């Protein structure tokens, strides 16, 4: 609800709950674009953020894909890093101690190639001091199902959700892939399988060709597209998922400014993650809570959740003629 200016008595409240997890503001760093936090030390003040989501962790270390594995595109970035990471043991031993000193919520992103692998990592994180939640990347190939990504099969996505929920007491955020026809089907399944929250979107599958060498620009041929180019798609999917499930939704995709973040919060996201923009300018995320606060003050909005648009305001349906006219293309009236 947007209050009248004279009703505001205290400064805006940016704190939010993602299920059982309380965040001081709704701005987080997205997995894979902020390393294990320490890489950004001195480049931005992590303490100003609602949370940090570290690079996806697997059971064993992964070397990732061969280079080239990053290509810039108009308004976007294609990556085929291949989920390179240090593995859970090294993460707990070498990375977590530094992260414990940061005054923001630490969320660990996990990945696996089988339901058992996801459970095993979740179990190792359960009770790890300083870890506040788990974000589950379900864009990974399910080896037992011939390599189909878990996140493109609603049943497989639900199985991962149930298995992770069973092995950890930490809040579980399931991160959806946009590479599906109807994202609400997967969202509903993971919500009913017990997810505490959903985050979306991961990258969109794409490719680029280097016309000089006449080869695909990425050694892996395909990669994931991120950055401003994907923001309208991400926003549309967040809008759909917010209206399909009853659990909190975190919006991700091309967010580079406070205005971008506000769009996602207005679509109904409880929080946002900033990814590629950090690679362009590491301090980007730090400006976003301040920009949201400024907007709330200027518009006399007390609580960040009041930014969400009411559903009826949105739907201005396109009207079609009630009788199709043969041979004529259907035009909105």
Ligand X SMILES: Cc1cc2nc3c(=O)[nH]c(=O)nc-3n(C[C@H](O)[C@H](O)[C@H](O)COP(=O)(O)O)c2cc1C
Per the structure block, which two tokens stand in for 67? Answer: 């280079």
Q: Which is nearer to ligand X, 105 or 302 (CB)?
A: 105
Nearest distance from C-beta of residue 27 to ligand X, angstroms = 12
User: Residue 77 and residue 75: Cα distance in Å, rounded?
Assistant: 7
Site for ligand X in 196-235 (CB under 6 A): 202-203, 226-227, 230
Residue from 95, 124, 165, 175 binding ligand X (CB under 6 A): 175
State the Cα angle at 167 between 130 and 247, rounded to 5°. Answer: 80
Site for ligand X in 103-122 (CB under 6 A): 109
CA dihedral over 273, 274, 275, 278, signed as positive or negative: negative
Q: Which is nearer to ligand X, 173 or 301 (CB)?
A: 173
* Dihedral in degrees, nearest 10, Cα atoms 134, 39, 223, 77: 120
**Catalytic: 34?**
no
Nearest distance from C-beta of residue 226 to ligand X, angstroms = 3
Determine which helix (DSSP H) or strand (DSSP E) holds 28, and give its type and residue range. strand 27-29
Q: Which is nearer to ligand X, 79 or 167 (CB)?
A: 79
Of residues 299, 303, 301, 302, the one with CA closest to residue 270: 303
Which span (38-46, 99-107, 275-283, 321-329) binds ligand X, by CB under 6 A? 275-283
Q: What would you report as the CA-atom Rg of the chain, rounded to the nearest whole angstrom?
A: 20
Nearest distance from C-beta of residue 3 to ligand X, angstroms = 31
Nearest distance from C-beta of residue 139 to ligand X, angstroms = 7
Q: In sequence order, what are the beta bridge partners of 57?
A: 110
Of residues 105, 84, 101, the one with CA closest to residue 273: 105
Site for ligand X in 46-105 (CB under 6 A): 55-56, 77, 79, 81, 83
State the Cα angle at 4 between 240 and 300, rounded to 5°. Answer: 65
User: Residue 328 and residue 319: Cα distance in Å, rounded?
Assistant: 16
Q: Which is nearer to ligand X, 109 or 302 (CB)?
A: 109
User: Residue 167 and residue 150: Cα distance in Å, rounded?
Assistant: 18
Under 8 Å CB-to-CB from 312, ≥6 apart: which residues? none
Q: In what order do the strands lie in the sheet with 204-207?
A: 70-73, 76-79, 222-226, 204-207
Number of residues this chain uses to bind ligand X (CB under 6 A): 26
Residue from 276, 286, 288, 301 binding ligand X (CB under 6 A): 276
Nearest distance from C-beta of residue 12 to ligand X, angstroms = 24
Site map (CB under 6 A) of ligand X, residues 3-42, x = contact: ---------------------------xxxx---------
- Which one of the listed residues 29, 110, 140, 160 is annotated catalytic? 140
Site for ligand X in 248-267 (CB under 6 A): 252-255
Which span (12-20, 97-105, 182-190, 272-280) binds ligand X, by CB under 6 A? 272-280
Binding site for ligand X (CB under 6 A): 30-33, 55-56, 77, 79, 81, 83, 109, 137, 175, 202-203, 226-227, 230, 252-255, 274-277
Q: Please list the active-site residues.
A: 140
């Amino acid at each position: 609800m947007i209050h009248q200016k004279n009703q505001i008595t205290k400064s805006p409240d940016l704190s939010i709950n993602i299920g059982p997890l309380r965040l001081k503001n709704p701005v987080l760093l997205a997995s894979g674009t902020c390393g294990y936090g320490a890489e950004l030390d001195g480049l931005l003040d992590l303490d100003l953020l609602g949370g940090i989501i570290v690079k996806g962790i697997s059971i064993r270390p992964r070397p990732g894909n061969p280079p080239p594995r990053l290509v810039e595109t108009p308004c976007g970035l294609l990556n085929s890093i291949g989920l390179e990471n240090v593995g859970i043991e090294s993460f707990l031993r070498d990375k977590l101690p530094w992260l414990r000193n940061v005054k923001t919520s630490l969320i660990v992103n996990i990945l696996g190639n089988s339901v058992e692998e996801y459970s095993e990592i979740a179990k190792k994180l359960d009770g790890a001091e300083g870890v506040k939640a788990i974000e589950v990347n379900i864009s990974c190939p399910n080896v037992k199902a011939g390599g189909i990504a878990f996140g493109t099969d609603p049943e497989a996505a639900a199985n991962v959700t149930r298995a992770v929920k069973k092995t950890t007491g930490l809040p579980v955020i399931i991160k959806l892939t946009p590479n599906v026809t109807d994202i609400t089907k997967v969202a509903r399944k993971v919500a009913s399988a017990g997810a505490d929250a959903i985050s979306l979107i991961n990258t969109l599958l794409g490719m680029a060709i280097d016309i000089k060498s006449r080869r695909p620009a990425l050694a892996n041929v395909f990669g994931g597209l991120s950055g401003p180019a994907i923001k309208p798609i991400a926003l549309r999917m967040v809008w759909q998922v917010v209206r399909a499930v009853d659990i909190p939704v975190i919006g991700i995709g091309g967010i580079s400014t406070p205005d971008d973040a506000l769009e996602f919060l207005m679509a109904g996201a409880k929080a946002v993650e900033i990814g590629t923009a950090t690679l362009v300018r590491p301090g980007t995320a730090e400006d976003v809570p301040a920009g949201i606060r400024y907007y709330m003050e200027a518009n006399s909005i007390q609580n960040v959740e009041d930014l969400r648009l009411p559903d009826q305001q949105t739907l201005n349906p396109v009207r079609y003629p009630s009788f199709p006219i043969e041979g004529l293309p259907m035009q909105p009236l």
